[in-house]
Amino acid sequence: MTNTTIAPEDLQKSILQHLEKSLGKDTQNATLYDWRTSLSLALRDLVVDPWFRSTRKTYEAAGKRVYYLSMEFLIGRLLEDVAINLGAEDASRKALADLGLEYDKVVRDEPDAALGNGGLGRLAACFLDSLSTLGIPAYGYGIRYEHGLFEQHFEDGRQIEVAEGWLAQRHTWEFERPEVTYRIGFGGHVNGNWEPAETVIANAYDTPILGWKGRWANTLRLWSAKPTVLFDLGSFNRGDLVGAVVPEALARAISRVLYPDDTTEAGKELRLKQEYFFTSASLQDIVRRFGSEGYDIDTLADHVAIQLNDTHPAIAGPELIRLLADDHGVEMARAIEIARDCLAYTNHTLLPEALERWDLGLFARTLPRHLQIIETIEADHLSRTGSHVRIIEDHSVKMGELAFVMAHCVNGVSALHSELVKKTVFADLNRDYPGRIINQTNGVTPRRWLYNCNAPLRELINRTIGESWVDDLDQLKKLETHVSDAGFLEDFMAAKQANKKRLANWLGEQVGQTVDPAAMFDIQIKRIHEYKRQFMNILETIAHWNEIRDNPNGDWTPRLKIFGGKAAPGYFVAKEIIHLINDVSRVINTDPVTRDRLKVIYPPNYNVSMAEVLIPAADLSEQISTAGKEASGTGNMKFALNGALTIGTLDGANVEIRERVGEENFFLFGLTAEEVVNRRTQHDFSRTAIANSPHLARVLNQIADGLFSAGDPGRYHGLVTLLYEHDYFLVTCDFDDYHATQNKVDTAFVDRRRWSEMAALNTARSGWFSSDRTIEGYAKDIWNTPSLLDKSGS
Ligand SMILES: *Cc1c(COP(=O)(O)O)cnc(C)c1O
């Protein structure tokens, strides 16, 4: 059985029934929220069947399950995702239309589940989608943050953070499991047994994750923290009303917010508790499920593959050993072996400040038994390898080293990144454990990032090569033969134009700006970070503005520059860059001389849903990080797949994108990773670069003179000084090449035929960047988990 099809009338009946029976509303009083919830519940009913079927098949096959442990799952909205995977999009549209409702409006009412910072969390969400599409039994495990990541607002151009309220409304997709709870201990003493001083309860909430055509569904299980004692009645009866709720407030704090920072060692104690909380609950759940199937604990690794998404769940090594040794009586040396056979670790960054380290005192206070086990792991590692790499060093516990030593496989996320992992952060461990580090280049799910977000292009592709590309993205190659066909190229550009019009409308609604859909849409959306160099982009924008003003009658290609992204609340420089972009945008957008040819827009609160509107409309994708710093990037893949051309450096997966789409269809600039390292050793490299670049020098003077901060000329002295004195990310060195390459982009954009060929080839040759291909790689090289789908496709 495939493709759970449903007739519009049946779906409508179910919607009306849910409206009445689940929500207690009639059609007269139903709000948009009521309709959206009713449609969601009606579709959710259809997910249950394939979900149960997948679980039964998994038990029958007695196979291995993948457990993906991640601090973040940036899933976004689910309604459309479920509708397309069920093949129920048209039925939903029609059922609602007959009730006088607009499907697209109903879909947009759903808040984003923003349980992640950026790429790492979005990757976890794409992996869940691919695991279900491929029919590999899997669980995602994470935290059910009550407030997710913060909501970004701008006040006078500055970022303001506001608590996010996605759970203020009912989260329609999840099933609460009040009976699935585990005790999580902290602190206390070890006297033979660990006696924690403090205990909280982890309570499971399950969301089914449906794959393409509804053939398979896995589970995302998120943990919520609850107190062991719901309410301190003693205090309450003594009149201490506030004291009575303190234990509850402390326990619930653990699943309150996602630390809004993925690159610094933040949060200390609460963050460590969060990491242990969800890792321990997940492992207890895994071991319980394994036990319920009646296997010998010695065979755990034959049935369990645990993937650690970065070091956040790295406590899984010692925790699994603790469960095996302390609770199941496995001998310590064997427990270490079993744990390692189960565990694998994905490294996501080379930024040294992002490799987690815990203060030894804090660690010993919070997890005393685990510290003992880590000492045993370290001794075992040192004696077996003769290594000099320690896990506990400089009064801290190093989670990268712990994850590495306890994993049977360590992977980087792009070819370049994996090589740099071997040569830099884990050079010594790579010598101690040759062959342990492998590569799995990231990917993105084509269901969300093409089929769903780009209907015009989806329809064109379906008309041209059929629909089987959706779960076999390599088939996009078949489009290549059509690239010499002028009619196809016109249709391709018409699809792009339709997306640009949709974005123009969206910008009108969201930020009240009118834009010209004929202009080049040049987009940089991602977390704001010095290494990602939004700073260089806005400096180049100013240089371009200067050129237009110097030659107002020149033949300038009209451009719309769009920025999007949040900065970590404590990341001062990133917040200054946001302020600068907004200040520059105000000046440029009101300049009557340039207004028709250059505009800068920065819509606040970048998230998955915003990406789904922006990416299909992009002509140019900005992937301009300092070479050697972006581990992979996945935004770069989404853009290429949707027919945007990339202006980028040889960094992360840009390298592989360029190889695949062809160097003539990619705008390359900038120093290589090796040149970056060398350049930093040169005395006064940034002053030299500025002195040699009249464009850049002029722009920096304009900023320093307060041209964009009238009334507060000193506002950006810090930023400008940073470039002169500590330009660690080499904005100054790459600026001229970037500027010259942008001019080439302007020229290329005017040759419509050639541009459309390049754009179409980007789509046709991006099939390899499907997360289905990535997951197939993990399944084969790391997990050893076959698909349980019948070959007939059911
Ligand atoms: C894809 C995606 C990212 C990752 O973007 P990069 O450009 O690879 O950093 C971050 N946030 C959201 C919402 C995304 O969809």
Distance spanning both ends of the chain, measured CA to CA: 5
Q: Does 652 sit in the ligand 1 pocket, CB within 6 Å?
A: no
- In 307-388, where does DSSP find H-type helix? 316-322, 328, 332-342, 360-366, 368-385
Ligand 1 atom nearest 608 alpha carbon: 13
For ligand 1, atom 1: residue with the closest CA: 635
67 within 8 A of 343, measured Cβ to Cβ: no
Q: Which atom of ligand 1 is nearest to the CA of 610?
A: 13
C-alpha–C-alpha distance, residues 390 and 463, integer Å: 58
Helix, coil or strand: residue 148: coil
Sole residue written with tokens 């990339």:
646
Percent of the chain with pLDDT over 70: 98
DSSP code at position 444: B
What pLDDT score does 791 carry? Answer: 66
Confidence of residue 2 (pLDDT cuts 50, 70, 90): very low
Report how far residue 178's alpha carbon sits from residue 175's, in angstroms, rounded to the nearest whole number: 9
- For residue 298, pLDDT over 80 is answered with yes
| pLDDT band, residue 351 (cuts 50/70/90) | confident
Token pair of 579, please?
A: 């302020």
pLDDT confidence of residue 267: 65
Nearest CA to ligand 1 atom 7: 635
Quote the pLDDT of residue 354.
78
Beta bridge partners of 67: 139, 306
Whether residue 348 lies in the annotated active site: yes
| Tens digit of each residue's pLDDT (9 = 90 or more) over 685-698 | 999 999 999 999 99
Residue 563 tokens read as 């920025």
Closest ligand 1 atom number to CA of residue 444: 1
Q: Name 27's Cβ contacts closer than 8 Å, sequence gap at least 6.
A: 16, 19, 99
Q: In angstroms, rounded to a whole number, what is the distance separating the alpha carbons of residues 260 and 569?
A: 7
pLDDT, residue 1, reads 37
Nearest-CA neighbor of 594 among 519, 666, 657? 519
- Mean pLDDT of the chain, nearest integer: 95
The residues spanned by each domain of the chain are: 63-78+113-440, 446-672+735-776
Same fold for the domain at 63-78+113-440 and the one at 446-672+735-776? yes
Whether CATH 3.10.110.10 fits 63-78+113-440: no
pLDDT of the residue at 261: 61
**Active-site residue 213, yes or no?**
no
Starting at the edge strand found earlier in the chain, the sheet holding 65-69 runs 175-186, 198-210, 217-227, 138-143, 65-69, 304-309, 343-346, 409-412, 437-439
Which among 526, 559, 561, 679 is annotated as catalytic? 526
Using DSSP's 3-state secondary structure scheme, residue 218 falls into strand
Q: 121 in ligand 1 pocket by Cβ < 6 Å?
A: no
pLDDT tens string 46-74: 999 999 999 999 999 988 999 999 999 99
User: Which whole-number Å values give the CA distances from 399 to 118, 284, 355, 463, 539, in the listed order?
Assistant: 21, 21, 7, 50, 38
Q: What pLDDT score does 244 carry?
A: 82
| pLDDT score of 358 | 94
| Residues 231-285 pLDDT 10s | 778 888 888 888 888 888 888 889 998 876 655 555 688 899 999 999 999 999 9
585 touches 493 (CB < 8 A): no
Residues in CB range of 79: below 8 A, 6 or more apart: 36, 39, 40, 43, 106, 107, 110
Mean pLDDT value of segment 368-378: 98
Task: Quickly count: other Cβ atoms within 10 Å of residue 736's Cβ.
Answer: 18
Can you tell me the distance from the alpha carbon of 144 to that of 221, in angstroms, rounded to the nearest whole number?
A: 9
Among 147, 221, 527, 658, the active-site one is 527
Kindly tell me if the per-residue pLDDT of 192 is higher than 90.
Answer: no
To which residue do tokens 């994750």 refer? 209
Question: Is residue 18 lining ligand 1, measured as CB closer than 6 Å?
Answer: no
Q: Can you tell me the mean pLDDT for 474-483?
A: 98
Angle at CA of residue 220, ends 215 and 221, nearest 5°: 140
The secondary structure element, H or E, covering residue 115 is strand 113-115
State the pLDDT at residue 263: 52
Secondary structure (DSSP) of 758-782: HHHHHHHT-GGGBHHHHHHHHIIII
Residue 7's Cβ-side half-sphere holds a number of Cα atoms within 13 Å equal to 3
231 φ, ψ (degrees, to nearest 5) = -155, 135
Q: Please check whether residue 602 is in contact with residue 582, taking contact to mean a CB–CB distance below 8 angstroms.
A: yes
Q: How many other β-carbons are positioned within 10 Å of the β-carbon of residue 377?
A: 24
* The CATH number of the domain covering residues in 446-672+735-776: 3.40.50.2000
pLDDT value of position 168 = 85
Q: What is the mean pLDDT of residues 563-590?
A: 96
Pocket test for ligand 1, best of 525, 531, 620, 622 (most atoms within 8 A of CB): 525
Atom of ligand 1 lying closest to residue 634 CA: 8
* Average pLDDT, integer, range 510-527: 97
Residue 514 to residue 699: CA distance in whole angstroms = 27
Mutation pick for ligand 1 pocket among 126, 452, 527 (CB with most ligand atoms within 8 Å):
527
Identity (one letter) of the amino acid at 434?
P
Concatenating the DSSP letter of every residue in 488-509 gives HHHHHHHHHHHHHHHHHHHHHH
